[in-house]
Amino acid sequence: MADKKGPETWKEMNPGCMVFRPGSSREYHTGSWRAQKPVWQNEKCIKCGICYIFCPEGCIKEDEEGYFVADLNYCKGCGICAHECWPGAIKMVEED
């Protein structure tokens, strides 16, 4: 939130609070809300991609080898990926 820039006065507000810059929500790093983070144990991963599908934040990506990683700038630590991963390859661990 600290790096979020916004209008200073009401006169600087866009009409209807419209936001015209595409992709500006990327600057909003929701990862700071996280208490736990998902950690993948790739030896258990079957590359099914169910974590990728279920992630409500859309922050899980497939790497070059076909395994999955979360972008921790946006991962809120909800744990849905770990809950859905039926081979049990994802563990939620406390943030340092």
Partner 1 sequence: MSKRIGMEVAIAAAEAAALCRFDVAAVYPITPQSHVAEHLSDIVADGRIDAEFITVESEHSALSSAIGAAGTGARVVTATSSQGLMYMHEVLPIASAMRLPIVMIIANRAVSGPLNIWNDHTDIMHERDTGWISLFAQNGQEVVDMTIQAFKIGEHRDVMLPVNVNMDGFQLTHMVEPILMPEQEEVDKFLPAYKPYAMVHPDTPVSMGTLAMPEFYAEALKAKDMAMAASRKIIAQVWKDWEKQFGRKYEPIEAHRAEDAEVLMLTMGSMGETAEIAINELRKHGVKAGLLKLKLWRPFPFEELKKLTKNAKVLVVTDRAVSFGGPGGPVCGEVKAALYDEPNRPKIVNYLIGLGGRDLTISDFVDMMKRAAEATKKMPAEAYEYYGVRE
Q: How many CB atoms lie within 10 A of CB 77?
A: 21
Question: From the CB of residue 61, how many other CB atoms can be counted at a distance below 10 Å?
Answer: 12
CA 53 to CA 67: how far, in whole Å? 13
Q: Which of 2, 3, 5, 16 binds partner 1 (CB under 8 A)?
A: 16
Q: How far is the CB of 44 from partner 1 (least distance, A)?
A: 38
The nearest distance, CB 30 to partner 1, in angstroms, is 13
Place of tokens 């169910």: 50
Q: Is 56 in the site for partner 1 (CB under 8 A)?
A: no
- Interface residues with partner 1 (CB under 8 A) are 6-7, 9-11, 13, 15-20, 22, 24-25
